[in-house]
Every structure is written in structure tokens, then in C-alpha cells.
Chain A
Amino acid sequence: MAREDEFLEYVQSGSQVEVDDWMPDEYRARLRKFIEMHGNSELMGVLPEREWILRAPTLQRKLALTAKVQDEVGHAQLIYRVVEDLGKPREQCLEDLISGKSKFHNVFHYPTKTWGDVGVIAWLVDAAAIISQKALLKCSYAPYARIMKKICWEESFHILHGRDVVLTLMLGTDDQRELVQEALNRWWGPLMQFHGNPITPDEDPMYVWRIKSQGNDEARQQFLDGYVPQIWELGLTVPDPELRKDEETGRWHYTEPDWDELMNVVTGHGPKTEDRLDLRRKARENSAWVRSVLLAA
């Protein structure tokens, strides 16, 4: 027990561990699961956006969107490598993902219906993700902290691309403006759920072990603070009549998100969960021969 207490003090003082350092079993298990879910999310996040790579309306958008999705695949590669070095092979991770055994973030269970979604996702979903990712830059597990640096650097253009798409639409026809508002109306709920339920940092093992350096609510507040003004200044409305900032406390008030829905979705019951896992399964099956040819040195 003493060794674990020492470890706790060590990470809470801001120090980091490497792959071969001693770690408590609980830390290692939680860490690996957390990182694996992140990898799963990057890989599943590719699928909603991929459909629009094929429908991008200009060459510039085509290039940007392809590059963005490519980055996400690249992130999955970085993340699964870290998980593999922690003891779980990539193939096992992919199998668990496809079988529904392991999870991925809520936002990737929802459909993308229009070009408006493309803009809103790249702007706001990526923004929500970057807030979480910045909080991981100081992760007590150094290999993960290091890849987060590369990930954050690559994400920087994603948000700009998203904002550019949205701004262009908002400066366009009435139909185009409506695309954005309508997409925002559908994505607001999942966005508010994105950072997780309001568990206090001291009760959140991820924070206690300094895997995350920020609590869920704090991340959500940061998101609202940064992006609601950006939304409002374009003349868009947020579909939450309760949303306002308390100028005295600096905290945002909002309608409590539906935490049951979040739980339901991440446990595999989102509108697009089945379809997307199915796509992954088929892609994997069809290319199994490629992997075996390549492994036969």
C-alpha cells in the first residue's frame, strides 16, 4: 500500500512515468482503458466525416476534409501504439471495438445529415475534443502525453477549417444559413454531453491519478466560455433557453444534459452505432488477407 501511496504522491506532484516504470495495477488498467477508448473514438470519428469527403463541393474543401480525416486515422495509429506498448495488441483492440466490448465517445454515434454538419462538427466537436486533449498534455503517463502534443498540433487546422466552412455558409444563401442552424440544433445535445457527467474531480479516478488534469464540468465550462460567444456572434441560436453566463460567478448555466441518453449511447445504442461498427467489421474482413500477406515475412 505504501508503494501505491508514494506513486499517488508522485503523480499528483506533476511527475510522470514511462512504459517500463512500476505502476499500481489499478492505474495501469484504468489508463489503458481510457487510452483505448480514445483510440476507438478517433477511428469511429472517421466514419461520419468520410461520407462527406466524397461529396465535398470544392477542391479546397475536398483536400481539407480528406486531410482532416487522415489526421484522425493517424491519431488512432499513435494512440493504439501506446495501448499496445501497455500490453494490449492493436488487433485485440479492433476486435473489441467491433464486437461492442469496448466503447467510443458519444458524438460518433450520431448521423451526419448535411454539409452543415460537416462545418459544425469540425468547428465545435473538434473544439470540445481539443479542450479534453489539452488537459491530457500533462498526463502522468509520459508516452501518452507526448503523442497528445502531436495530436493537438495537428488538430489546430481542423477547427479553422470548420469555422471557415461555417462562416462561408453563414455568408451564403438562406438555405445555406439554415443548414448551419439546423445542424447546430441537432448537435447541441451531444456536445453538452461530450465532456461527461458532472463527477467532481476528486471522485474521478482519471483526475486523481492525473491521467486527466481537468474535471468534466470544468472542461464543459471552458467549452461554453470559448464557443458560445462565437456561436452567438454569427446570429445563430443555441437550442437551450436556459443557457446564460452568470456574470458574477463566471459560470455558465444550462439545462442539465440527459445523462441517461449519454449512457445509452456509449453502451452501443446510438442511432448509427450498429451501422458504423458493421462498416468497420466488413472493411476488416475484406482486408484480412492483406494483413496476413504482409505478416508472412
Chain B
Amino acid sequence: MIYEVFRQERKGQAFQHAGSIEAPDEKFAESYAREQYGRRGESTALWIAPREALHPIEDFVDELNRNYHRVDGYPLKEKLKEARERAGTAKPGEAG
């Protein structure tokens, strides 16, 4: 069976996918993951999971440009310039 291994390099960091190992069961997988991904003290912690337990999701759809909930949906430069002019607080170089 193939097991995927995730490792945390230092406490507080996110677990990242490190690789995969082949093992007959969970006990062996634990033993092997420890050695392959931790024998040099390069990880503080590991997670292992059988490959079938993981489900890839890769198709993200955004046909109609949903920028209302993103920062790039809010270009405020022009409006700000106008508002400053109206209030008489236009910055030098902004007039016109």
C-alpha cells in the first residue's frame, strides 16, 4: 500500500507533503516514514495517510470574474482623487 507522508519541519509551521512510501500496513508505514523523513532530525512531526484517503481537487471555476470579494476588485485611486478635490484637500500634483 502507498502511504503519503506530510512533515512539519519546525513547531508552528504548516505540515507539507513530503513524499510517499510503500508499506504493508500502518505499523510498517509509521516505522518507514520515521526513517525516510526523520532520521536526521529534519522533522518535528509527521502525518501519514493511505493514498486512497486523499482526494485531489483541481478544477476551480471562475467564469464571471468574481472580484467583488478580492482586493483587486477595489481600485479606489480615481474616486479618492475626486473626493479630495471636492474637499479642497487635493495633494500637490493631483490637481487637474
Where the two chains meet, the residues of A that have a C-beta atom closer than 8 Å to any C-beta of B are 20, 70, 74, 77-78, 81, 85, 90, 146-147, 150, 153-154, 294-295, 297
- Do A77 and B36 contact each other (CB < 8 Å), given the known contacts A147-B19, A150-B19? yes
Tell me the bound Cα distance from A85 to B51 in angstroms: 12
* Known pairs A74-B36, A150-B18, A154-B40 / 17 extra A-B pairs, C-beta < 8 Å: A20-B56, A20-B58, A77-B36, A78-B19, A78-B36, A81-B20, A81-B21, A81-B22, A85-B20, A90-B22, A146-B19, A147-B19, A150-B19, A153-B42, A294-B24, A294-B28, A295-B24
How far is it, in angstroms, between the C-alpha of A74 and the C-alpha of B35 when the chains are bound?
9
- CB of B25 within 8 A of chain A? yes
Report B24-65 residues with CB < 8 Å from chain A CB: 24-25, 28, 35-36, 39-40, 42, 56, 58
Shortest Cβ-Cβ A-B pairs, 3 listed: A294-B24, A81-B20, A74-B36
| Interface contact B19-A297, CB-CB below 8 Å | no
Question: Which residues does chain B contribute within 8 Å of A20, judged by CB atoms?
Answer: 56, 58
- Complex CA distance for A153 and B39, rounded to whole angstroms: 13
Query: Please, how many angstroms separate the alpha-carbon atoms of A81 and B40 in the complex?
Result: 21
Residue of A nearest to B37 (CB): A150
Q: When chains A and B are docked, how far (Å) is the Cα of A215 from the Cα of B46?
A: 38
Q: How far is the CA of A97 from the CA of B75 in the complex (A)?
A: 61
| CB pair A297 B36 closer than 8 Å | no
Residues of chain B lying within 8 A (CB to CB) of residue A295: 24
The A-contacting residues of B in range 6-25, CB under 8 angstroms, are 18-22, 24-25
Q: What is the bound-complex CA distance between A147 and B21, given in angstroms?
A: 13
Q: List 24 A–B pairs whose Cβ atoms lie within 8 Å, in order of A's numbering.
A: A20-B56, A20-B58, A74-B35, A77-B21, A77-B36, A78-B19, A78-B36, A81-B19, A81-B20, A81-B21, A81-B22, A85-B20, A90-B22, A146-B19, A147-B19, A150-B18, A150-B19, A153-B42, A154-B40, A294-B24, A294-B28, A295-B24, A297-B24, A297-B25
Residues of chain A contacted by B21 (CB below 8 angstroms): 77, 81
Complexed CA–CA distance, A150 and B19 (Å): 10
Cα of A295 to Cα of B22 in the assembled complex, Å:
11
